[in-house]
Structure formats: structure tokens, C-alpha cells
Structure 1
């Protein structure tokens, strides 16, 4: 199966098919004939997930947990569809996300505001609700039992207030959603991964993100499983790069002048310059056009998120004066 990658410790990465190959991974944890699904991709991702489970010898009835790192739709848009397919599974989501899984209307409104309604529908389709009695709140410290394998929930804000990471004690690894950034395999250099922070709308908080990364590193993980895209090691080096690049992006945003479109264009140009400098630092083999083809959407969303963060900072300063 071209869209399936097997990792150590019974972990499979399924390409969700979101926008392009290698953009978003859905992770399956297989243990003693039972399975957990971490993030769900979109409605269109369900056939790939079911096929991957079948290839691993897992029937839909053997899926016990569907866990969402957060409720942005590239991570959670297919949750309702998959819950229909998994009759014995419980959906695990941050308490802030529970009501949006029961009634996705406001979640859809927020996504449409970022992408536009037509583009949002093309990307995600119609969102299916999940019955309240099938949802478990992912509170800090919650432990899930996967046939004797312990999965622990950590609250990890910074990318979003409703973000969690999942500590897999057996694999000595975290499933990090977007908190440990983006790492696309096209940018690997001889197996050496690169990672880039995501500051997408609307709840980016650099101080909280720094703290969440430090908290993950306090567990001394051997690997991180990112939604964008899958397994990375050398996590100490990557964590240092994340801290550096968060601060660099924040500095670009703070230096931008004006507001509205003019400020957005200036922030985006600053992010593009960061990428050029990283291309030289990391020794990427792609051309500049190819690099920007990989990162274009993320840079645009990062610029939007940084602009919203600047406006929030200004509002807080005004109200506290």
C-alpha cells in the first residue's frame, strides 16, 4: 500500500490524502489485536484508514480509541465518519473540543472564515456529528488502555488552546499533532529531518508553545510522530530548531509595519526570507521554487496566524492600560 508506512512498535502512518501526498499523516497504534487511531484526516481519508487496518488484520470492531490532537479539520474533519465505522471506539478530544464534535456548526464557521466556504467544503466535505455518549474528555493526565499499552494525555497549548499530545510509553514517543511543528520528508537531507513551527490561526501563543515543547522534551522521547509528516528522531536538535524559529517568526511579525493586507504581505515576505536562510543552513537539495511549493500554504497560514496574534497582543495591551 503506497499510502502506508510501517514504523517500530506497531505504529503505522497512513497518508490522509489531504491536498497532496506526504502532507498529513493519520497514525494507527496496533497492540495485541486492538487499535487506536490518532487524528483522522478528512472525510475522504476514511477509506485509506479502513484499508490500512484491514492490511494489519484489524477489524473495525477492534478499534478502541480515536484520539484527536486538536480539532482543526485537517486533523479532525473525518472523526464523525470514522466513529460511524468503528462501533466499539470512543472519541478522545480536549474538553474545549467536545461541543464541536457533538455539533460541528461553529467549527465549520471558523474553518470557512479561514479558507472561504467553497474551498473549505472542497477540502473537508460535510462534517458528521459524534454522539455525546461516545466522547471522552482528554483531560490532563488521562490514561487510555490499549490492550495493556498505556497512552497518556498531556495538555499542550501554543498552537491551539484545545491541543493535546499523546505519550506512548511502549514506543517512548509522542504523537504531537502540530505542537512539534511540521517536518516534510521532501526536505530531508540524507535522512536528516528539518522541522518548522506552525503559527496558524487563530490561537498561536509563542510562550505557551515554548513551554509545551519543553514539557515534551522532559520525557526524553526517542521519537516524535507529527501529523505533518510522521516520524522524526534527533528530537533534541529539532526542539532547539523549533525554539529558535518560533522566536525568529515572532521577531518578523513584531517588525512588520501597518496593518491589514500591507502588514500581512510584509510578514509573509519575512517568513520567506527565513525559509531561504534555513535552506542554506540545512543544505536542502531542492530548488527555491520547489521548496516554496512544499511550504507555500503553511507560510500563508503562518502569516495569518502571526497577524492575529499581533492584534490580540495589541488588544490585551489596550485593555490592561
Structure 2
């Protein structure tokens, strides 16, 4: 497993060190001696980013932007600590995320509700606030400049309402966070990637996610840079798989009976069956147990997110006489 992967167009994927090797990538873009960072990993990821910048000959003062696709802590937990080390950088984040970066207390509470407070602290440590004057709201259509290299912000809800994707005109590629799913390199078969949608708590919206994926495709991208894990091509094929698997997961959730733990267990079992079917479809060389183990945490979070989505539908349903 490589800690740093050099991609075309001055893009580098840095392993954040979160969880296991090549689970979560931090992307660095180096252009004309300046740099930008897309997603930050956790507090523990900060030394890794600084070490790679030093190896590339980029001083911390030459980093102009830290761009967050969204504020889930595996993507944004290290933002405050990293900004302390990058004196000239501005933090780009969805408008819904601005206050949470300036005051991360509610963000922490939401994460602790998912993982439990003790486990959340083990994963992420203390979340450092970012001074409000260094935060730039990322509104749909905004353009960002890095030494003449242009980036465009797209508001892409579905995985979360505070999610953006970032279009890199030079690379003809998007930095997609979780909107274009996850694609672990262990599942690659003869260079063909596998992508799986993430429905994690608490803001999954299948219709919005379908629309966001289609909007990304409208740019005819040559590649996508996913946080989990880095560069994929064959974008149209993977988008088709994502659309199909979003609908399949939704169908599993809608078929689940009851509520609470029993419903969660049933949804999780259905998601595991989807993985088995995908293994047969793609001809993975991984054993069934190895495939399920690689996706274990993702399937658990997806099941939680689908449950929250089901509950939101019931709250929204009008009363009938």
C-alpha cells in the first residue's frame, strides 16, 4: 500500500491513516508552486499532509486553500489543526458547514451520537475550531483560483445536505468526497474499479443523490477523485452502478419490517446480500468474508442512514382520516 500516489495534473493522494491503509485519501493539488488541499482526514492526518508537502518542496505558507467536500469528521476532522499549520490558507466549505467549522461543538455531538463518545474521541480526538474570518462559504457556481488554475463549486446533496463537489478544469475531473460513492482498490479487477454508494447518517436522500451524480456526469469528466479511495475512470459505467445500487439499497430498506434494532439487523443483512451479489457480478477474487470485512463499517453506517431516511419519510407523511 502506498502512502502517497502521484496522479496526473499535479494531483497527489495522501493516505490519511484513518482506519486502515487506503481507506481515506487527502488530495493535494500543486500548481505553479502553490497548493490546495481537498479534505483533511483527522487530527492524526495533519503530520502526513505536512510531510508530503515538504517532500514536494511546498512550504506551508504556499498552501492557498483547504477545500472540504463536507464536514463528516473522516473528511474534515483535521481541518482546524491543519489550518493552524497553514498560515495563508482559507477554508472552503458548504455554507451549512461554516458555523460547524467555527464552532464544532454540535458537529462533535452528532458524531458522538453515531459512534459513541469514547469511540468518537479515539477516532477523531478534539476538534479544533477554525477562525471565522478564514472560512469561505462555498456556494453553487463559485469559482476558486489557484495560481491561475480554476476550480468550480457544485452543491451536491444526497449523501449530506452540506456536500459540495469541486470541478478541476485543468484535470477535467471532480473531487467528489462521498457523492460518487466509495471505491476501494482491493476490489479492482484487471484495472476495472467497483463503486458503492454511501447512505450514511443522517441526511441521505436518494433522489438528491441520483440528481447530483447526473449533474457531475453532465461535465463529461475524465476521472473522479474519491475520498474512499482516490482516482477512478470509466465514469459513466461507475455512475450506472451507483444509480442501480442506490435503488437496490433503498428497496432493501423499504422491505424491512418493524423498527429499532430488528429493522436495522434486517437492513444490514440485506446490504450484505447485495455485496454477495456484486461479488458474483464482478468476479472478485476476494473471498466473501474478506469482501464483507472490507465493507463492514460502511455497511453498518449505510444501514443506519437508511433507517434514518425511512423514519424521515414517516415523519413527513400527512395524517389520514
State the TM-score bracket (shorter-chain normalisation).
over 0.9
* Deviation of the 1:170 alpha carbon: 0.1
Residues 184-241 of structure 1 show CA distances to partners (whole Å, capped at 9, x for unaligned) of: 0001011110000000000000000000000000000000000000000000000000
Output aligned runs, 1:6-17, within 5 Å: 6-17=6-17
Match of 2:226 in 1: 226
Residue ranges of structure 1 left out of the alignment (5+ in a row): none
Task: Work out whether 1:85 is the aligned partner of 2:85.
Answer: yes
TM-score (ref. length: structure 2): 0.99
Using the alignment, how far apart are the partners of 1:101 and 1:247 within structure 2? Answer: 33
Distance 1:62 1:271, change over 3 A: same
Output aligned runs, 1:256-271, within 5 Å: 256-271=256-271
SS in structure 2 at match of 1:257 = coil
Using the alignment, how far apart are the partners of 2:169 and 2:193 within structure 1? Answer: 23
Using the alignment, how far apart are the partners of 1:320 and 1:203 within structure 2? Answer: 26
Output aligned runs, 1:64-213, within 5 Å: 64-213=64-213
* Deviation of the 1:320 alpha carbon: 8.7
Distance 1:176 1:320, change over 3 A: farther
Residues 82-108 of structure 1 show CA distances to partners (whole Å, capped at 9, x for unaligned) of: 000000000000000000000000000
Distance 1:25 1:320, change over 3 A: farther
Using the alignment, how far apart are the partners of 2:285 and 2:54 within structure 1? Answer: 37
Distance 1:30 1:319, change over 3 A: farther
Using the alignment, how far apart are the partners of 1:285 and 1:2 within structure 2? Answer: 21
Match of 1:3 in 2: 3
TM-score (ref. length: structure 1): 0.99
Output aligned runs, 1:269-308, within 5 Å: 269-308=269-308
Task: Work out whether 1:58 is the aligned partner of 2:58.
Answer: yes
Using the alignment, how far apart are the partners of 2:40 and 2:320 within structure 1? Answer: 40
Superposed structure 1 runs of 4+ greater than 3 Å apart: 318-321
Residues 91-145 of structure 1 show CA distances to partners (whole Å, capped at 9, x for unaligned) of: 0000000000000000000000000000000000000000010000001111110
Residues 270-305 of structure 1 show CA distances to partners (whole Å, capped at 9, x for unaligned) of: 000000000000111000111011000000000000
